[in-house]
Amino acid sequence: MTQPLVRVTRRLHFNAAHRLYRPEWSDSRNAEVFGPCANPNWHGHNYEIDVTVEGPVHPETGYVMDLGHLKDLVNSSVIDDVDHRNLNLEVPWLEGLNPTTENFVVAIWKRIEPGMPEGVRLSRIVLWETPRNYVEYEGPPSPRTPSPRSPSPSAPEAEGS
């Protein structure tokens, strides 16, 4: 019997600092394009990351993937490297990359995807930079039929709520 395909999501949290800028541009050009995010003294975010995987429900466990294992994978491949770090200066796999949220989510995908267990597909990553701003990435184009769009995620609760 064919098992149903199900998506499951794990949300994790980390803090990091960064600066958006292009080194070949002048400070005034960087400020014009990136606004306060080009501050030479950096700025930080309390990031939330939603990692969604998709696969068949295992007939014995009832899982697509043990969410504890997914948490461990995201921690070891991403969060341990970026939490309480400067993304521009302290994360080798971001070296040379302007750490916009768009660039960052693609780099995160490349770190997590190789660790997916057999039969489980990394389906989507939502990276929240603030409770109001997030990016979504569903991976590189694939010859497979794209999955239907999922509804937008709920905003993470603000601290103290």
- Condensed to tens digits (0 to 9), the pLDDT of residues 109-120 reads 999 999 999 999
Work out the average pLDDT over 101-109.
99
CB neighbours of 125 closer than 8 A, spacing ≥ 6? 49, 50, 51, 52, 105, 108, 109, 112, 136, 137
In this structure, are residues 112 and 77 in contact, taking their beta carbons and an 8 Å threshold?
Answer: yes
What residue ranges in the chain does DSSP mark as E strands? Answer: 5-18, 43-56, 85-86, 121-128, 134-137
What residues are annotated to the active site?
Answer: 37, 84, 129
Name 17's bridge partners.
Answer: 44, 86
Work out the average pLDDT over 75-79.
99
Looking at residue 6, its pLDDT comes to 97
**CATH code 3.30.479.10 for 5-15+45-137:** yes
In this structure, are residues 42 and 17 in contact, taking their beta carbons and an 8 Å threshold?
Answer: yes
Summary mean pLDDT of the chain:
92
CB neighbours of 49 closer than 8 A, spacing ≥ 6? 11, 12, 13, 14, 74, 78, 79, 108, 125, 126, 127, 128
* Neighbouring C-beta atoms of residue 95, cutoff 10 Å: 9
Looking at residue 161, its pLDDT comes to 41
Looking at residue 4, its pLDDT comes to 86
Dump pLDDT digits (tens) for 137-160.
999 986 654 455 555 566 666 554
pTM recorded for the entire structure: 0.87
